[in-house]
Amino acid sequence: MKYVDEYRDRDLARTVAAAIAAEADPDRSYHFMEFCGGHTHAIFRYGVQDLMPENVHFVHGPGCPVCVLPVARLDDAVELAERYGVILCTYGDMMRVPGTKQRSLIRAKADGADVRMVYSTADALRIARENPDRQVVFFAIGFETTTPPTAVALKTAEAEKLGNFSVFCNHVLTPSAISHILESPEVRDLGIVKIDGFLGPSHVSSVIGSQPYEFFAEEFQKPVVIAGFEPLDVMQSVLMLIRQVNDGRCEVENEYTRVVTEEGNVKAQTLVSEVFELRKSFDWRGLGTVPYSALRIRDRFAKFDAEKQFELSVKASREVKSCECPSILRGVKKPTDCKLFGTVCTPQSPVGSCMVSSEGACAAYWTYGRFRDQQPSKLEAAE
C-alpha cells in the first residue's frame, strides 16, 4: 500500500495543521458541517479534531440515509412484508433500525416475514425471477450514489416485463437537504446551528458532480469544499474553507479532483432522470418535511412502484421521545448530549437510527470519540 503513506504522512499532516493554525483568525470561530458519514468516520478515526485550533469545530450533519429515513417509511416496509406477504429485499443497514414500538425488519423476519438482505438491486431482481409466484419489493434507500442502481433495476424490470417486482422508493437528494438545514423554520424549535461552510460529500459528488452546489453556495452564501475521505483530504479541505471564510468568498471548491469532476457521471444522471422525478415534499427524520428533497418513480414505471401497487396505511408513527437523533442530525446537539447515549442506546441495542448505522454520528462517537468529549479534564491531566 505504498500510495497510502503520502496521505497519512505525519509531517504533511503537521504542515497542514500548522497552516490551519496560522490562518485561522483567533478572533472568530469556524463551524464546518460535514455531510457524509465517511467524513465523520475519518475525523474520529484519525483524531482530526485534535489537530485543529480550538476555534475550528466540526458539526456532524445528516449524511446517513439510514439515519434520515423517518419511522413511518420503515413502518410501511414492515407492513409490506407482514400484511402483504411480499419478499422484502433491503440493504443490510436497514435491518436493525427500530420502527414504531421498536419493531424492526429483523424482528419481522424473526416472526416469519420474508425479509431478505441484499447487496445489490441485481440480487433483488434475481430473487424476483426465481420466485415468479411471489411479489418481490425492493426497499430502496440512499442518496445520489444508490439511486442510479435502483434506476437500472427499474429499467431492467421493464425490459424483462417482470410482473412481480416493484420498488418502494425512498431516495433523497443531498443539495436540498443542505439548503433546508440553512433555511428551515424548525431551527427556531431545535436551536440555531452555526455553520460557516460545508465539507461536500465525495462519492455523491462523483455522481452528481460539483456543479449542483454552486447555486447553493451563491444563494445561501456558504462556502463548500468537496472533500476526499483521507484524513489529509479533510484537513486540506478545512484549510480551503478557512481561506474562503477569511476572504469572504462563498464558492464551490473541489479538493477531491482525483475522483470528482464538475459534471459528474452523466450516464448515471441520465438514467436517474429517465426513471425518477422530484417529489414535492418528503419527510426526513430530524429535518421534518423538506420540499423537493426526494425522488419518486415516474408514471411510466407505475407497474413497478410499490407505493402504487400496494395500499399502505398512513399510520401515526412515533419516535422515542428522549432520543435526540433529530437534533443530532441537524448538528444542534452532540451524541453525548443525549441522555440515552451509551446507557440504553448502544450499537448492540440501538434506540435511534444514528446509533444503528455505522455511518451515524452516535455510532462514530461510540466507536472513536465518546471519551474525548465526556472526560476532557482527565485526558488533559494525563498529558
Partner 1 sequence: MCLAIPARVVELLDNDVAVVAFDTVRKRISLALVEDVAIGDFVLVHVGYALHKVSVEEAERTLGMMAEAGVLREELEEISA
Q: How far apart are CB 199 and partner 1 at their closest, in Å?
A: 15
* Piece of the chain touching partner 1 by CB under 8 A; list 108-116, 140-148, 213-221, 369-377: 140-148
Build a one-symbol-per-residue string for 335-364: x at contacts with partner 1 by CB under 8 A, - elsewhere. Answer: ----------------------xxx-----
Residues contacting 247, CB < 8 A, separation 6+: none
Q: How far apart are CB 51 and partner 1 at their closest, in Å?
A: 17
- Looking at this protein, which amino acid is placed at residue 96? R
Looking from the CA of 232 toward its CB, the CA atoms found within 13 Å total 13
* Piece of the chain touching partner 1 by CB under 8 A; list 203-211, 215-223, 313-321, 336-344: 203-211
Build a one-symbol-per-residue string for 228-267: x at contacts with partner 1 by CB under 8 A, - elsewhere. Answer: -xx---------------------------xx-----x-x
Is residue 119 within 8 A of residue 177, CB to CB? The reply is no
The one among 127, 167, 271, 345 contacting partner 1 by CB under 8 A = 271
CA 332 to the chain's CA centroid: 16
Q: How far apart are CB 367 and partner 1 at their closest, in Å?
A: 9
Q: Is 47 in the site for partner 1 (CB under 8 A)?
A: no
Q: Is 100 in the site for partner 1 (CB under 8 A)?
A: no
Is residue 324 within 8 A of residue 344, CB to CB? The reply is no
Is residue 337 within 8 A of residue 375, CB to CB? The reply is no
DSSP codes joined into one string, 259-321: T--SS--HHHHHHHHHHEEE-SEEEETTTEEEET-BEEE-GGGGGGBHHHHS----------T
Q: How far apart are CB 214 and partner 1 at their closest, in Å?
A: 21
| Gap between the Cα atoms of 293 and 239, Å rounded | 30
**Spatial CA neighbour of 366 closest among 374, 204, 209:** 374
**Spatial CA neighbour of 219 closest among 182, 255, 188, 244:** 182
Q: How far apart are CB 321 and partner 1 at their closest, in Å?
A: 28
Q: Is 161 in the site for partner 1 (CB under 8 A)?
A: no
Binding residues for partner 1, rule: CB under 8 A, are 1-4, 7-8, 36-38, 41-42, 45, 64-66, 91-93, 117, 119-123, 142, 145-146, 148-149, 152, 203, 206-207, 229-230, 258-259, 265, 267-268, 271, 357-359
